[in-house]
A and B are shown apart, each in its own frame.
Chain A
Amino acid sequence: MIAPVIVFFACAIAAVVGAILLILAHEPIHSALSLIVVMISLAVLYLLLGAPFVAAIQILVYAGAIMVLFIFVIMLLNAGEEERTDWSKIAKWIGLPLGFVLLLEISHWLFHSEPGTAIANGAAAPAPADTFALSTELFRQYLFPFEATSILILIAILGALVLARKDQ
């Protein structure tokens, strides 16, 4: 039963390091690659949490489609090194510490939340969700939101076309 612990901590460290590299990177393409690291580690964590379907669409849609879109735009715009702005004193001495206070506060509050005591991995862990049950839930109880999101996608396609069109 030691294997899930090792996998969890490896993926958690990879995700946090990827997120920190996203902040520290000077070029957008490096940020994009570190974000892909975060997404793939999260996909492994979804597998650990018994959500194989979510892990699959995380890889397919997030790390695949959305990040390809990002990298395509970065290459299309030839986005090189970011302009360095000298941080204002307020941002440096108040903003950054407050950001880390927020980070610690959210994680502390979540860590000690009531549902957090349940066992995620281990002998007493619940069975993983099968895709059949998930799709039944999706197409019965959540049918209306599902159809609404399909209209949302259609509107997003039209909006992207209108916005990216060159002026005549």
Chain B
Amino acid sequence: MSIPVSYYLALSGVLFGLGVVAFVFKRNIITIFMAIELMLNAVNLAFVAFSRAHSTAGHVALDGQVFVFFVIVVAAAEAAVGLAIVLALAHTRQSLNVDRVNLLKF
């Protein structure tokens, strides 16, 4: 009994869709950030699965895994800057609700 790569890809699609739903429907800015991380994780799973799909018995295709490495590095940088923005926002607006962040509105 063997698992084809498409199972992993379908799981990746489900996780990405749930991340989009969380991103759109959550109102807390920290949870919205977590939804972004969830989507990045889903894409990473697809990258590793594609890397596996393009490998053969003799040759392992590594480009997908190198991409996952870069995605994780960029996610770390994004989390650091994003959470600093969250801190600054919480100090100025006294709220984590994104609906209250309307400084640019007339």
Residues of A at under 8 Å CB distance from B?
A: 1-2, 4-5, 8, 12, 15-16, 19-20, 22-23, 25, 28, 31-32, 35, 38-39, 42, 45-46, 48-51, 53-54, 57-58, 61-62, 65-66, 69-70, 73-74, 76-77, 79, 82-83, 85, 87, 91, 95-96, 99-100, 102-104, 106-113, 115-129, 133-134, 137-138, 141-142, 145, 149, 152-153, 155-157, 159-161, 163-164, 166
Contacts and interface: CB of A to CB of B under 8 A. Distances in A.
A101 B30 CA distance: 26
Contacts of B101: none
A150 B9 CA distance: 30
Q: Is the interface of A mostly helix, strand, loop or mixed?
A: helix
Given A82-B31, A116-B53, A138-B66, A104 B17 contact: yes
A73 B18 contact: no
How many chain B residues sit at the interface, stated as a range, is 35 or more
Given A23-B26, A122-B3, A103 B41 contact: no
Contacts of A28: 28, 30-31, 34, 96
A111 B13 contact: yes
A128 to B, nearest CB: 8
